Amino acid sequence: DVKVTQSSRYLVKRTGEKVFLECVQDMDHENMFWYRQDPGLGLRLIYFSYDVKMKEKGDIPEGYSVSREKKERFSLILESASTNQTSMYLCASTRGGRRVSGANVLTFGAGSRLTVL
């Protein structure tokens, strides 16, 4: 019954490494999101995508990029990991497209906990 799958539950990387976090959803959702979760800060939006090859910056895009080549897959890329990117990363998806109205509840993956040494 898993609907949003994040490829890695736990990762440990070294400073400067390139990191890929993968997310796949099987609900045919148009919208996909990447958040990072830190204690006391809640969830902060990094990037989101409302269609294949489309992306928009969230509140904290610096140091991150994303890729959406297929509707079901949304990847988060850390080009050169730094220690301040140690965090829990959450992927989510929802129906809708670029402009929506009405309820569009996010379905979250289990999260990827990244530690950068």
Partner 1 sequence: ELKVEQNPLFLSMQEGKNYTIYCNYSTTSDRLYWYRQDPGKSLESLFVLLSNGAVKQEGRLMASLDTKARLSTLHITAAVHDLSATYFCAVGRRYNNDMRFGAGTRLTVKP
Give the containing element (helix H, strand E) for 67: strand 65-70
Query: Taking CA 63 as the corner, what is the angle to CA 95 and CA 80, rounded to the nearest 5 degrees?
Result: 120
Interface stretch with partner 1, choices 18-26, 62-70, 78-86, 108-116 (CB under 8 A): 108-116
Choice between 42 and 53, CB closer to partner 1:
42
| 34 Cβ contact partners less than 8 Å away, ≥ 6 residues apart | 21, 23, 45, 46, 47, 48, 58, 64, 66, 74, 76, 89, 90, 91
Tokens of 21: 């976090």
Interface with partner 1, residue 13, by CB under 8 A: no
Among 56, 65, 80, 83, which residue interacts with partner 1 (rule: CB under 8 A)?
Answer: 56
Q: How many residues bind partner 1 (CB under 8 A)?
A: 32
Rounded CA separation 11/57 (Å): 24
Q: Could you tell me the smallest distance in angstroms from the CB atom of residue 45 to partner 1?
A: 6
Q: Is 98 in the site for partner 1 (CB under 8 A)?
A: yes
Which residues between 27 and 46 bind partner 1 (CB under 8 A)?
Answer: 31, 33, 35, 40-45
Could you say whether residue 105 binds partner 1 (CB under 8 A)?
Answer: yes
